[in-house]
Amino acid sequence: MLFTLRLFMTILFFSLTVEAKFDIFMTKKLDMPQNVQPPSAIANVSNKVVNSIDRTDSSNIVVNKIIDNSVMYWWDNSGIKNTRMGQAVETAQNKMRADVNLGSTGADTQQNATQHKLSLRLLAAQALAKIEYFGWFKAAFKYDMKNSIAETEVYENLDNNKDLVVSHAISKDEEKSQVSLRWNW
């Protein structure tokens, strides 16, 4: 302790006795960048996370999607993806999703015909299975394996930011049916 105090006093005394001289007019101008952009990696991650979150997702699903998308971004930008193990994981992941075009019905012209599509997803990190139908109406079936909740909903766009939703959810504790107006901010 005494040594530290002596060292501090010596440095303090020395700094008070030394004069620093400089000419301010001889210094170089400091150029600051005008437009600073975030690194592209950060922008890519934030865009991927924001675009993947559905307006109807619960807070638990949002957190799981953020974690899942962060891991997927790391996976896509690391060298592990090119190893044998990485290629096996890629193959398994691609087999857990399918988009099926069921064709079209209705009008004589292709422009006015109703397109029928089915989307099947198994999101392993979120423990969620999801089936969506787009055609005469829009419908979704979700099964949350962690919480043992099955949800079915049929919805129709009323306006560009409003949906009329008829839904039914079944869990081990309750069954809930509701008609709601979903407002997308």
Q: For 55-113, how does the pLDDT look when each residue is reduced to its tens digit (9 = 90+)? A: 767 777 777 777 777 777 777 777 777 888 878 877 877 778 888 888 887 766 666 78
Q: Where are the beta strands (DSSP E) in the chain?
A: 97-105, 114-123, 128-134, 138-144, 149-159, 162-170, 175-183
pLDDT value for 157: 86
Which residues, in sequence order, are bridge partners of residue 138? 134, 155
pLDDT higher at 124 or 142 = 142
Query: Residue 138: is its pLDDT beyond 80?
Result: yes
CB-based contact 115:101 (threshold 8 Å): yes
Query: Can you give the pTM of this predicted structure?
Result: 0.53
Distances (CA, A) of 36 to 29, 32, 39: 19, 10, 9
pLDDT value for 154 = 93
113 and 101 in contact (C-beta within 8 Å)? no
Tens of pLDDT, residue by residue over 29-47, are: 767 666 655 555 555 666 6
* Three-state secondary structure call for residue 177: strand
User: Which of 15-24, 42-51, 75-84, 133-142 reaches the highest mean pLDDT?
Assistant: 133-142
